[in-house]
Each structure stands twice: as structure tokens, then as C-alpha cells.
Structure 1
Amino acid sequence: PDILHQLVKGTFKDHLVEWVGKYLEQVHGKTGTKNILADIDQQIAAAPPFPGLWCFPDGHNFSQWTGDNSKALMKVYLSAIEGHIPDDVEHTFHAFLEFCYIVRQNVIMDQTLAELRDALAQFHQYQEIFRMTGVCFDFSLPHQHSMLHYDLLI
């Protein structure tokens, strides 16, 4: 599996982060979304220094997304958007992050595969919020489709 391009860049950055912006714009308009994104960036910038966490003084507004800063942003993004999005969006991110953490484990046993399948099922269940709100009309996306096959590739 190509974790960087399928999960980190594909599903996280190109889908979920973009969909949050579209959702916010639908609900709050352009001006409201601009203010909310500024608050989200402040939350990201305010993440305390901690081993393994990057500092993002400008929030998530960097000129070029690299694999490293995308992976680092995954660690703080959910807490930054909390309170600005519905619970189902939070649950979508949580299930996706759980899926990502599981596939990165060095040792994967039968129980781990069951947890992986459960995280994927929850991700698919909760991402429906994006379809119901009109943010995304179709989940037939190659990056997300590849997630269906991870358990077979491990």
C-alpha cells in the first residue's frame, strides 16, 4: 500500500481537509468560513511543543504541502477543527486516523485486522455527512477505494 499518496495526501489532504472547507463555506458563507479557518489556524499554531509534534506558526496555510508536513498536521488537525464541525465529521476524522495508525503498526495480528476493518466501516459510515450536506456527491474515489484492500495487502 502507498500510505503517503493514498492516505496522507489523498484521503486526508485532498479529500477530508478540502471537504471541511467546503462544508464550512456552505454553512457559514465565505466571510464566516474565513474567520473560522483563521481560528483553526490559530489552534494549529497554538499546539504546544511536544516530542513528535511539529510547530505550524501559520496554521495549515503553507505554500506547498509535503508528505512530512501533511503527516504532522494529521496529529493536530482534529483538535483544531473541533467545535467548528458536526460530530459526524469529527467521527469521520477519528475513524480515518485510527485506520492510519493501525496500518502503520509494525506487528499486525488477526485482532488488529478486525480493528482495521472496524475503523474502515466507521469511516464509511460517518463520511456520509459530506454526502448528506452536498459537500461530496460521490465516494467513488481511487484513494478511498484503495482503503478497502489494505487488510488483504497486509
Structure 2
Amino acid sequence: MATNTPTGAPAGPSTQPLGGDLITPNDLRKIAEDREMALLKEAQELEKKKHEEQSAIHEAFMQQHVRPDAKERFTRAVRAAAERGVKELQIVRFPSSYCNDGGRAINNFEPDWPDSLTGFAREVYDNYDKYLRPAGYKLRAQVLDYPGGMPGDIGLFLHW
């Protein structure tokens, strides 16, 4: 049986108007800060993973070599292109960051642009220079896109 308070109102389970403990603004700030920190940590982990993947791709590009069956593959590809009426093939595509100047020489059509090539792109160019140029092929490099107004991917194109 409930006892009456001095005012005569029955005493309930709590004497606070909303009952029990009330969440405070400090509690809410802590909850928001914890959520923000969790999101930040997640974003940092994703960025780290992305960087690691890009590093692995770059390392693979730097270690890649022209395949032993390149001559046969090349012959099939250019023959098929010629049969389609095409006179040019993109033979490699890579980020401008793989150039030792970030793609500047290619973007500015400088005659020494091949000196900016590294890794697999340089090996492709050297093979072109040794085997394909003497046969009459030509090679050009081109910036393919400009994300954020800066050179993005580079394409090397063989034409005849």
C-alpha cells in the first residue's frame, strides 16, 4: 500500500519528474564524439588499405616485363586492328604518377618525354625503340584524363 507524502500525493517509484536517470548533454556529446572517432578510424583504415593496394599495383608495374610471347601477341593485335580499319592501338595505360615528372613532359609534348617513363612503360618504350621503330611504327604518349585539373592516366599508342 502506497504511503502518502506530506502533501498528500501518493509516492511513486521515483520522486524525479521524468523518472530515473536522465541522459545529460555531456552524455550526448560523448556519444557523438565516440561515433565521430569510430568513423574517423574507419576512414583512416580504408585510406591505409587503399594506399597499400596502390603501392602493390605500382610495385607490380615497376617489376612487370614484356612477355616472351610479345611478338606473337603483337602480330595478332595489329593484324586484327588493321582488319577492322584501325591504324592505332593503345598498348599501355598507367597513372601519370608513375612518370618521374608526374606526366609533365608528356602533357607539354616535350621531345624528351620518353626519359620520364619508368618501370614497365620504359621497358615497352625501349622495345618499341629497338624493334618497332626500325620497322616503321610510331609511338605517341598522351594524357588521357585530367582529374582535378591535373594529368591523370597516360596512354602509349602505337600507330602505323
Shorter-chain TM range is: under 0.3
Higher strand share: 2
